[in-house]
Structure 1
């Protein structure tokens, strides 16, 4: 390992590549990233791994770049790709080979060239296009600014993930019906002209102990611009001390002036107010600018205002809460209002990169000096991408004809970073299939799931009430890379239920439940309540909307709904996954992996991240007649012979009467299973545990007729290094 590089050595190493440096602090990683960019290399994936290996050997950035670029370094090191590795014992389940899938998103190089970024022309600023500072004095009942900023609580999620969830939820709840909703997060470096406008028109001085003005003198200054279009914007009254007319929206007042106001949005994402504090807590300065365009009685109106959370302080003999606004202060001097009209439009277009076109309405936030958890802004961008992917994935699933769509974009310096495709994602494609199955069960024209997915109603007995639907599927384990694994809220291997609300379909949480006892399989599920029970779950959410807590619901009947649902979800998952597949003799070196499942065939998901072949759902409702099913409890693998091996599965019949069985064997491919020439073929049926190496087995080619409780073995043959997918089921004429 390399010796520790001192601060002075890092500064010297940074000097020749400073123009390629985007880090928040000078570390080995951020300096190495700058050297790679200067050499035209992207600091991610194998390039990054090679560079990191080299820098760990001798601390030479030159050698690290040379090794990452595929040229000879000035000193010789062992090649991490050719060093001897430990032998893998395939008789140990822990050593079973799992496919590796890379879903890491490359940052377009254009996004890293901040000096070349161009802004669209901005209109000249008039004398009225400026904001005034309004610090809040303490009065009866006021809350300290630090206390207000802690109202979100302490979610288990990374702050960047909470920020993505809360801002997206607010946009979804404010959407205009029938319009395309666009949600964009643009992490960007502020231009010199934007900084001049902020210094001269908004933050003319520091806000008490909050160094908002002096911080703008540093370079570079970054901001996160979060915008929605196709949303209603921050409408309603701009004063918090007057009662609005009945039915008038209060979005501006609730978001900007009030903390903890319940949102009056039926089937919306949740309460609106507490969660907004995350926009401030992810700003190093606690400061956010809001620019909105909304419909009023007088037509479309622009509104712009700044707001901040800071520490309480004393000034000129008076106590201040630490809450600040920048807007227009009326003559009475006791409140603040937004700048509105043409002056607001001009100021907004000089500060925000995304403008309002034609009749567009919506809201943009400018979070100053965002703190998103990365060592540099490229890592921050990856964290935004991964947070959008893992927390907004239901919005990335193909919408139905009756469900509105949300277009999600993440940008670095205005350059879009592609989001991974949900349909081919090695993990989320299985969740997407489960969501499609739930949608179909709840009456939507969703596409038929690609996987064999079981859907069961989640029911309460007293009173008799269907609370929602749970869809469960299994799929092979894969190893995969992501840009920011710390924001991924899943178990590994996956064993989670995605909980979400009925209409909003915004992820509440991934509920962690027991894993499958299998070296090759994992499972996932989705639960959504019905419209009639959705409000109970809304009432159970904390301010961060990341859980369902029944104890938080005051109404006894509503609390019972949440309690019963959470208990039944756990019970139904346990029933669906039991009995676990047990393992026969393990594969020997060079063998393939056999993955099997019970309950009318293999609940198999995507392998390697591609869209799987078609399978249907298995709905099961109350009062439905008991159906025959086959439970697979064990599998065996034979020795490799002439490039092929035998596999066998032990099958038990669970049925109300005698049933004939049939079986199918296919080859596991990326995404599911397929018939590939003669790669996999059936052999037949055997009574009793078979010796797979024997040539004298009493094999029957015809499907056996079994009585309830009987068992039989099915044999097949598959080429080496292939995955055998065996489906044993009641014969079609028996169904």
Structure 2
């Protein structure tokens, strides 16, 4: 097969954008570079899918060596940019393409989509296309393409600057099965984004932009993509994901990505996909809106779990169902008073802090932590970012919310326009004064308030004297406790007289260890560790159960009659006691207690010390 030709772009008389200027278009995304690339690429795939198509995504990381690497060198990169271009770049952690191709191994990160339209349209930017979509030239040639997808996710075109930034060589390859004027066509083309440089060509010194393309010489001082059977053959020789006219779409290959091979990379890829695209991956997502993502890592298939069964995304998924109107949870409409508009819908769901699959999560993963945030999204249902709120003090509980802005064009466009190029935030300061800026400001203000006060509503804050005696009972009946404390609420273990002993007698926070059944009733088991220096052997240790609602507490004395919680037993070193408490003597070690659990509720336990004979 004939190797590809190289075209290096000269500056035009009227000027061009230099390669380094192109790379700076990305700005400073809040996310890491790999996450930005995955987000942008998958958003573009969603935007490129015809209405009702189920999008399939393949993320593949592989390392070329030996004959496979030789094929890449000989067939694709036989001709390289001139030496002057290589020395122009002074960016840290980057290397020129010639040096990278000399290495014994070269890694590739491939992002392939299927059942999308591919990079449709003409291949030349100067060709009048009429109504034909300009996806190919906007991706491979142009800079700063306008948004052309109604309610799309990638409102800055293709986020292509992040692709080049992730490559150590600032080089990508596109392999697309698409159409032009309704006729199927296969195309392969490569592009390198360097810095501007000067070089001698045709006997004279000329300036070059730093942009280079690999394709077929067009006899007009440029190159066109390799097309047709030749493109399919080259794709197969280089081992790109197979496709044909029945599987249209695009594979973007990032040459020598800035990543470390290993388990952390594998975990980060899985995490990035789930954390950002779970709304379109749930089992309950309509077929026409769903994306199926698969991951291959060095030839091995890596399973990506279903979000609705993968904590903490299960809570977010439940909130999304509510926002969609498919669940039975509470919905709040975020409204703007002036001008009058419904800005979107919010749902927050609470639950027990479920166990995480820590083996599948890298250190520092946000999915390791106790959930306490609202996922912000537009109707395209791709997560923009997570707005953090106050977490439950009791780490056995967590909450997760979803806010989706309205589908109304003027409102959706306002939130879209507030996104920076990386699509990872809503920044109203980017908008001019007017309705759009007001919409985004009002929504963010109300969402921040909701996130900050969900655990502890402001209306319920105050001293114990401010709250009437019926508050806890009413709250228990409603299934929502308005205050985090009561007159007999929980806290650390207390000592007689309100003064903590200066001696070493302490008990750790109780830890829930499991459920069992006793006489057809659920019973929760808790354990704690008693430290005892023996200085006060007559102290009694009591265990006081309480109901937990929304991560807050109410004592058994505040409960309505139909809800009961009983202490089954309390044990220490083989001795068993009940409500009367157990004398600690000189014992220390594990304290166990069991508490009955009402239906559809959770219970907790509070330990306290008391001198014998004193109430």
Is the shorter-chain TM-score for this pair beyond 0.5, marking a shared fold?
A: yes
For residue 432 of structure 1, report the CA deviation from its aligned partner.
1.1
- Cα distance in 2 for partners of 1:432, 1:723 equals 31
The question of whether the paired residues in 1 share the 8 Å contact of 2:566 and 2:596 is answered with: no
- Cα distance in 1 for partners of 2:206, 2:477 equals 74
After the TM superposition, which residues 555-634 of structure 1 pair with which residues of structure 2 at under 5 Å, given as runs?
Answer: 556-579=434-457, 633-634=485-486
For residue 147 of structure 1, report the CA deviation from its aligned partner.
2.5
Correspondence for 1:552? 430
After the TM superposition, which residues 378-527 of structure 1 pair with which residues of structure 2 at under 5 Å, given as runs?
Answer: 378-401=263-286, 403-440=288-325, 446=326, 448=327, 453-477=329-353, 480=356, 481=358, 483=360, 485=362, 488-489=365-366, 492-502=369-379, 504-527=380-403
Distance 1:198 1:477, change over 3 A: same
Correspondence for 1:235? 120
Matched, 1:154 2:154: no
For residue 676 of structure 1, report the CA deviation from its aligned partner.
8.8
Distance 1:572 1:380, change over 3 A: closer
Of 232, 236, 244 in structure 2, the residue corresponding to residue 345 of structure 1 is 232
The question of whether the paired residues in 2 share the 8 Å contact of 1:383 and 1:487 is answered with: no
SS in 2 for 1:268: coil
Distance 1:487 1:678, change over 3 A: closer
For residue 718 of structure 1, report the CA deviation from its aligned partner.
6.1
Query: Normalized against structure 2, the TM-score is what?
Result: 0.73
For residue 675 of structure 1, report the CA deviation from its aligned partner.
10
The question of whether the paired residues in 1 share the 8 Å contact of 2:76 and 2:214 is answered with: yes
Correspondence for 1:284? 168
Of 16, 23, 41 in structure 2, the residue corresponding to residue 142 of structure 1 is 16
SS in 2 for 1:253: helix
The question of whether the paired residues in 1 share the 8 Å contact of 2:567 and 2:595 is answered with: no
SS in 1 for 2:25: coil
Distance 1:598 1:337, change over 3 A: farther
- Cα distance in 1 for partners of 2:176, 2:231 equals 9
CA offsets per residue over residues 173-230 of structure 1, 9 Å max, x none? Answer: 0012333311111001225443233222221133234432442232122111110000
Correspondence for 1:199? 73
Distance 1:325 1:474, change over 3 A: same
Correspondence for 1:327? 215
Distance 1:699 1:276, change over 3 A: closer
- Cα distance in 2 for partners of 1:699, 1:240 equals 76
The question of whether the paired residues in 2 share the 8 Å contact of 1:157 and 1:489 is answered with: no
- Cα distance in 1 for partners of 2:492, 2:65 equals 67
SS in 2 for 1:431: helix
SS in 1 for 2:59: strand
CA offsets per residue over residues 68-118 of structure 1, 9 Å max, x none? Answer: xxxxxxxxxxxxxxxxxxxxxxxxxxxxxxxxxxxxxxxxxxxxxxxxxxx
SS in 1 for 2:289: coil
CA offsets per residue over residues 321-359 of structure 1, 9 Å max, x none? Answer: 2211111232221x4321212211111221233111452
SS in 2 for 1:264: coil
- Cα distance in 1 for partners of 2:351, 2:491 equals 23
- Cα distance in 1 for partners of 2:277, 2:556 equals 55
Distance 1:501 1:332, change over 3 A: same
The question of whether the paired residues in 2 share the 8 Å contact of 1:638 and 1:693 is answered with: no
- Cα distance in 2 for partners of 1:193, 1:222 equals 14
- Cα distance in 2 for partners of 1:402, 1:484 equals 28
Of 150, 154, 157 in structure 2, the residue corresponding to residue 266 of structure 1 is 150
SS in 2 for 1:467: strand
CA offsets per residue over residues 228-286 of structure 1, 9 Å max, x none? Answer: 000100001111123320x3111111111112212210110032347211111111111
The question of whether the paired residues in 2 share the 8 Å contact of 1:386 and 1:482 is answered with: no
CA offsets per residue over residues 441-498 of structure 1, 9 Å max, x none? Answer: xxxxx3x36xxx4321111112322111111122334564254536735694332111
For residue 553 of structure 1, report the CA deviation from its aligned partner.
2.3
The question of whether the paired residues in 2 share the 8 Å contact of 1:426 and 1:478 is answered with: yes
CA offsets per residue over residues 41-69 of structure 1, 9 Å max, x none? Answer: xxxxxxxxxxxxxxxxxxxxxxxxxxxxx
CA offsets per residue over residues 579-613 of structure 1, 9 Å max, x none? Answer: 4999xxxxxxxxxxxxx99686668xxxxxxxxxx
| Cα RMSD (Å) | 3.7
Point out the more displaced range, 358-367 or 207-216: 207-216
SS in 2 for 1:510: strand
- Cα distance in 2 for partners of 1:557, 1:700 equals 48
SS in 2 for 1:328: strand
Correspondence for 2:138? 254
Distance 1:577 1:403, change over 3 A: farther
The total of aligned residue pairs comes to 504
- Cα distance in 2 for partners of 1:527, 1:344 equals 44
For residue 550 of structure 1, report the CA deviation from its aligned partner.
1.0
Distance 1:676 1:315, change over 3 A: farther
Gaps of 5+ in 2: 87-95, 462-472, 494-511, 525-541, 546-554, 570-592, 602-615
- Cα distance in 1 for partners of 2:382, 2:316 equals 13
Correspondence for 1:300? 184
For residue 143 of structure 1, report the CA deviation from its aligned partner.
2.4
Matched, 1:360 2:203: no
Distance 1:383 1:727, change over 3 A: closer
Correspondence for 2:536? none
Of 521, 531, 553 in structure 2, the residue corresponding to residue 678 of structure 1 is 521
Distance 1:601 1:397, change over 3 A: farther
The question of whether the paired residues in 2 share the 8 Å contact of 1:290 and 1:305 is answered with: yes
The question of whether the paired residues in 2 share the 8 Å contact of 1:283 and 1:367 is answered with: yes
For residue 163 of structure 1, report the CA deviation from its aligned partner.
1.1
The question of whether the paired residues in 2 share the 8 Å contact of 1:386 and 1:487 is answered with: no
- Cα distance in 2 for partners of 1:561, 1:367 equals 38
Of 256, 260, 265 in structure 2, the residue corresponding to residue 369 of structure 1 is 256
Correspondence for 1:132? 5
Distance 1:487 1:546, change over 3 A: farther
Higher strand share: 2
- Cα distance in 1 for partners of 2:156, 2:485 equals 49
- Cα distance in 2 for partners of 1:377, 1:173 equals 31
Distance 1:424 1:490, change over 3 A: closer
- Cα distance in 1 for partners of 2:558, 2:76 equals 84
For residue 421 of structure 1, report the CA deviation from its aligned partner.
3.2
SS in 2 for 1:462: coil
Matched, 1:275 2:174: no
Correspondence for 1:121? none
The question of whether the paired residues in 1 share the 8 Å contact of 2:61 and 2:107 is answered with: yes
Distance 1:148 1:698, change over 3 A: closer
- Cα distance in 2 for partners of 1:723, 1:138 equals 79
